Amino acid sequence: MLQVRTYEGKINMTTFSDGDLVPSGETLEKMTENLKKVEELSERLQRVLTHRQTHNPALDGPNQELFGRAAQAYWAEAVNNPAKVFEHQMSYWADTMKQFVAAQHELTKGKLTAPPDPGPSDRRFANPLWDTHPYFNYIKKQYLINAEALTTAVQDVTDLEPVEKSRLQYFARQIVDMMSPTNFLATNPDALEKALETEGQSLVQGLENLISDLEANKGELVVKLADEGAFELGRNIATTPGKVVFRNRMMELIQYTPTTDEVHKVPLIIFPPWINKYYILDLKAQNSLVKWLVDQGHTVFVVSWVNPDPSYSDVGMEDYVEGGYLTAIDVVKSITKERQVNVIGYCIAGTTLALTLSLLKQRGERSIKSATFFTALTDFSDQGEFTPFLTDDFIDGIEEEVADKGVLPSVIMARTFSFLRSNDLIYGPAIKSYMMGETPPAFDLLYWNGDGANLPAKMAMQYLRGLCQRDELAKGGFELLGHKLTLDEVDVPLCAIACETDHIAAWKDSYRGIQQMGSKDKTFIMTQSGHIAGIVNPPTRNKYGHYTNPDLTLSHQDWLAQAEFHEGSWWPRWETWLQKRAGKMIPARIPGDSSHSALCDAPGTYVAKKATL
């Protein structure tokens, strides 16, 4: 039988004899009381699910045709190559029987112990009970056997197109991750220990957390990753001093207060992605790229995009270019009395920066001194991990969704990105919040990650159809504002930063797009880590290094093989590059001018608007 013992405040599961202690009456009473609370909360849960705001079911997974074709391919393989299928089945049966026999063998010794288990390293199974307790050990091993069997079966399906094979592998992985025993209370020792230790209070709090997340998203389950009450814009996040010096329907323009007596003559404009809020580059003083650039003597402007509601449904890429990029450039030139500016585009804002640079080239305008691209894709010929989401059935579902709502809701995008790393961004946080009743951590980056923005309907479909699906910018030109915009017309001095483990904008794809740009002055830097941590990498942390190689004619494999590795942040190396294009030092500028008075303090008003429908 199972005994619960308390040692130094921790709960341990072992065997017990008839003479061992059982939970006290007080403990049982407390647990009964908490279970009654669970019943009451369940009624509240039912209410929120009853009034759940629905979305197009096409966004939940592939249509049945994919699985039908996969099954057909599997049985065709069974007919044409029965030995291969038989080998799969025998391997699965053998592994299952071996672990069953091993467990039975341990039981015959008269001890309730698990067989020796060196097992694979998997942080989901960090609790020692997964290795030492026979119940949990058996469940873990059988899950890993099942997961391996499913993964191998899908991998060996041969009669499918590459795109369909990629999608099948993705959705099979989602099934494997979802069915992990850690995701269920009865087979999660951490959650069971916590429930016993807290006399059921953790289950009550977990259900409270679940209902709170559902209510916050109108019935859509989006796991809260950070404690929202721990942060306040302008107080302990997005705190770099500055003023909003311009506002229109598309954006607020922030100019930051100088911290040096002199500044570089050429101002710098940062265009962040409008999928999220700009303050990823101004989280807190210790890791704020904005503050760091101001401290290096740059006049820094940042565009803070509007968080669109359904009234923006007809806003397209052309509106972001004209009302955002071109307007910001003109305003900054007017305020600083300069003929040229340096610009940065991050992620989708980098993609759109490339469109803007081609447009300026065709119009004969020379307003840009240099351009920097952060994790930006301009060549979408290899869709990588996003392949499952860029086929017609999924994009058709998005098109119907935006036609209905006027925007692509941020909750849909957040869920899509999260499923690319489901164990880290969905199941792991869900276990801690819903099964163990823990409050999400006070983590600035995760807080920002949950503070999403909607996308206007027209813009979302232009981006998904024209750029992602048809790859028009890299293949002949993207039609916008009466021009066919191409990569070879991006001819200003440029520097691109890509991230080694980026699962949103793979570095090799970023590199391929930069290769096609027409500039004769190109620099490419690959930093360690991913889409966010690789960029938010201040020199003081000395955490991630970076690679450089001036020869951009090489394939991405050869570029990396011949690249030089440098310890520490890429920020100083890039800023040295920027200095050479930033002009001489002049007296520092205060925000605004006689024609652009300060409208409010940074971080402004647009950034505070939450994504709602």
Query: Which tens digit of pLDDT belongs to each residue from 212-244?
Result: 888 887 777 788 899 988 999 999 999 999 999
pLDDT at 262 over 70: yes
CA distance 231 to 20: 48
Supply the pLDDT for residue 172.
85
Please give the CATH number for the structural domain made up of 242-589+598-608. 3.40.50.1820
The beta strands (E) that lie in 235-333 are given as 242-247, 251-256, 262-264, 268-271, 300-305
The pLDDT-based confidence of 310 (bands split at 50, 70, 90) is very high
Q: Do the Cβ atoms of 334 and 469 come closer than 8 Å?
A: no
pLDDT at 4 over 50: no
Supply the pLDDT for residue 66.
55
Q: Do the Cβ atoms of 568 and 584 come closer than 8 Å?
A: no
For 54, counting Cβ atoms within 10 Å of its Cβ (0-12 exposed, 13-18 middle, 19+ buried), the class is: exposed
Q: Do the Cβ atoms of 135 and 359 come closer than 8 Å?
A: no
Q: Alpha carbon of 596 to those of 95, 116, 271, 606: distances in Å?
A: 72, 72, 20, 18
pLDDT (tens digit per residue) in 275-295: 999 999 999 999 999 999 999
Active site residues: 347
| Residues counted in the chain | 613
Which span out of 4-8, 312-316, 379-383 was modeled with the highest average pLDDT? 312-316
Please report, rounded to a whole number, the percentage of residues in the chain having pLDDT higher than 70: 88
Three-state DSSP at 494 gives strand
Angle at Cα 46 formed by Cα 45 and Cα 51, nearest 5°?
Answer: 100
In the chain, where are the structural domains located? 70-181, 242-589+598-608
Q: Do the Cβ atoms of 152 and 397 come closer than 8 Å?
A: no
Supply the pLDDT for residue 291.
98
pLDDT at 1 over 50: no
pLDDT at 61 over 70: no
Residue type present at position 157: V
CA distance 424 to 60: 19
CA distance 332 to 269: 8
Q: Alpha carbon of 418 to those of 126, 200, 257, 318, 600: distances in Å?
A: 22, 30, 36, 29, 35
Q: Do the Cβ atoms of 167 and 387 come closer than 8 Å?
A: yes
The pLDDT-based confidence of 94 (bands split at 50, 70, 90) is confident
Q: How far apart are the first and last CA of the chain?
A: 53
CA distance 543 to 502: 16
Three-state DSSP at 264 gives strand
The pLDDT-based confidence of 174 (bands split at 50, 70, 90) is confident
Please report, rounded to a whole number, the percentage of residues in the chain having pLDDT higher than 90: 61
Supply the pLDDT for residue 118.
66
Lowest mean pLDDT among 184-198, 316-330, 505-519: 184-198
CA distance 440 to 428: 11
Three-state DSSP at 343 gives strand
The DSSP bridge pattern shows strands 341-346 and 368-374 to be parallel
CA distance 376 to 593: 33
pLDDT at 265 over 50: yes
CA distance 90 to 96: 10
pLDDT at 65 over 70: no
pLDDT (tens digit per residue) in 477-534: 999 999 999 999 999 999 999 999 998 899 999 999 999 999 999 999 999 999 999 9
Computed on alpha carbons and rounded to an integer, the radius of gyration of the chain in Å comes to: 28
CA distance 417 to 223: 13
Q: Which helix (H) or strand (E) holds 411?
A: helix 410-419
Supply the pLDDT for residue 9.
37
pLDDT (tens digit per residue) in 542-588: 889 999 999 999 999 999 999 999 999 999 999 999 999 999 999 99
| 433: its two tokens | 């919040």
CA distance 199 to 35: 9
Q: Do the Cβ atoms of 209 and 584 come closer than 8 Å?
A: no
Average pLDDT over residues 427-447: 92
CA distance 336 to 590: 10
The DSSP bridge pattern shows strands 268-271 and 300-305 to be parallel
Three-state DSSP at 485 gives strand
Which span out of 77-91, 136-150, 340-354 was modeled with the highest average pLDDT? 340-354
pLDDT at 64 over 60: no
Which span out of 28-37, 67-76, 476-485 was modeled with the highest average pLDDT? 476-485
The rounded mean pLDDT for the chain is: 87
Supply the pLDDT for residue 79.
54
Does the N-terminal peptide bond of residue 603 adopt cis geometry, omega within 30 degrees of 0? yes
Q: Do the Cβ atoms of 70 and 168 come closer than 8 Å?
A: yes
The pLDDT-based confidence of 387 (bands split at 50, 70, 90) is confident
Supply the pLDDT for residue 594.
92
Supply the pLDDT for residue 57.
66
Q: pTM, whole model, 2 decimals?
A: 0.86
Supply the pLDDT for residue 20.
42
Average pLDDT over residues 577-603: 97
Supply the pLDDT for residue 21.
41
* Residue 382 or 578, more confident: 578
